Structure 1
Amino acid sequence: MRNHKATTAAAALAAALLLTGCGGGSQGAGAKTVPGADTTGSATPSASASATPADRANRPKVTLPAGETLSFDPETTGDPVKDAVLKDNAEYVRAVDEAIADQDGKATKVAFYAKDDALVGALQWIAAVTKQGVSITGTIRYFDRQVSVRQDGAATLTYCGDETKGFTKDRKTGKVNVTPANSDSYISYALVLRKSDKGVWQATKLSSVRGDKKCQR
């Protein structure tokens, strides 16, 4: 993890087991291989994915802490299935940051949007940041979000993150740890999501590459 730079929620999931602490200098997440995270599957939604059942989910209200802003581009594509994936993924990212701000180790809202490896990583990350005594502040931008729906009904989502204006803040002093931007301020992500029986697209697997050149724009 880069010194004092706010590793975003999604990146942290992949890097959780490598975390050494924000004061430990620069550390990239490196390339992680996630089974099924490729986008070689059909870009056309399968019959099961297209026939979206009635949304029975009572989605929790997620609130980011004061001083933190997340942006997602694009938010919609015009395709109802892909738009549902994008929307639930954005709430997943927000839920992790909310849990960090609230020092909520149970992270019940995160569990609403994630399961399996993605949930385990999120809980580890939330616990690690809480122990360090910092929260996330500033503006973090997610862009080039691309969804593909596979023949098996799962979805893959890739996107980039820009942390050049996102930082950590000391909980006790309120001091924002501002650091200059560099290549590690940009991260690429690849996720696998599956729809729950309530119609929620839950993240199940995630990989990230910190410092990925394709995101440095």
Structure 2
Amino acid sequence: MTRQTSDLPPEPRRRKNMRAEEREKAIVSEAVRFFAEVGFEGQTRELAKRMGISHAVIYRHFESKDALIERVYDHIYLRRWNPDWEPLVLDRSRTLEARLTQFYREYAARVFDYDWVRIFVSSGLKSYDLTGRYLSIIREKIIKPAVMELRFELGASSTSEAPGDNELELFWALHGSIFYIAIRKYVYNVSVEIDVDTVVETTVRSFFNGVRAEFGKV
């Protein structure tokens, strides 16, 4: 008896799909290094040439350069974000100084990286707002909560009011001073022979020493 088409097992497609998935990952991985080296003005045609594939292959997986850049953002920024950092900043069983010391030690371990830093800077100079979007995450999940936690430790009465610009700038200065280590190393190509954990700890301690001197508490 002839078997009906509906009775036949599906055609094996797994290997083909896996090859496509692997190729897509390879494109993203190479795009990260490519854009880190040449910036976002780099052309996908040159990227394809570097990979030894046709230009059409890239657009078989990504409908546009913007779509590829979006995947780069997800790959190098969002996937490196640790969701445990958010509750860490809010953990009042420890001092805010101890919490931020741990955060910045872990943060530096994740983001002090050639590709991460150079793409971050390149994006900030171009129309692709990856940098702005990422800094919004830092502001909402780290900077603003840190302001509120500092108010709590200071015993401030205005613990429910939104953080003011001066308060936010205080913590942006701390954030920037630590991140500048990576800027010097990966953008300015300055030799930075330091123990990052030790420098982070010293920087955060100095920050809170300044807060104590200014407000007489914490």
Asked which structure has the greater CA Rg, the reply is: 2
TM-score, normalisation: structure 2: 0.25
Compare the two structures and name the one with the higher helix fraction: 2
Compare the two structures and name the one with the higher strand fraction: 1
